[in-house]
Amino acid sequence: MLPLAIVLNILTYFGGDTSCKPECDPDGSHTVKIFETLLTPLGTGHKIFADRFYTTKVLIEHLLQKKQYYVVPSISTERDFQQNSKI
């Protein structure tokens, strides 16, 4: 059985005129502003699925502070996976 997924909030991107919370990120990372706007009604511990276009270090650090999980699809070869999985 597949897990249940629900789309709760959608923000249509209109370029620079997109309405989002500018006070959420004083450093100017547009992705943090977008995600914070979309996640306002949620608590913590949710999984957020997005494409790699929105993935930034600033965003990941922000979501970790908010105790949110970020899932992004990864396309790589097995060789790349083995090299990158070594810590």
Domain boundaries, the chain: 15-84
What contacts 16, CB < 8 A, 6 or more positions away? none
User: Which tens digit of pLDDT belongs to each residue from 47-66?
Assistant: 777 777 777 788 888 888 88
Count how many Cα atoms sit within 13 Å of the Cα of residue 11 in the half-sphere of its side chain: 18
pLDDT greater than 60 at residue 82? no
Q: Is the pLDDT of residue 28 over 70?
A: no
Check pLDDT > 70 for residue 18.
no
Query: How many other C-beta atoms can be found within 10 angstroms of the C-beta atom of residue 42?
Result: 13
Q: Which residue has the tokens 């249509």?
A: 12
Higher-scoring residue by pLDDT: 33, 11: 33
d(C-alpha 43, C-alpha 63), whole Å: 12
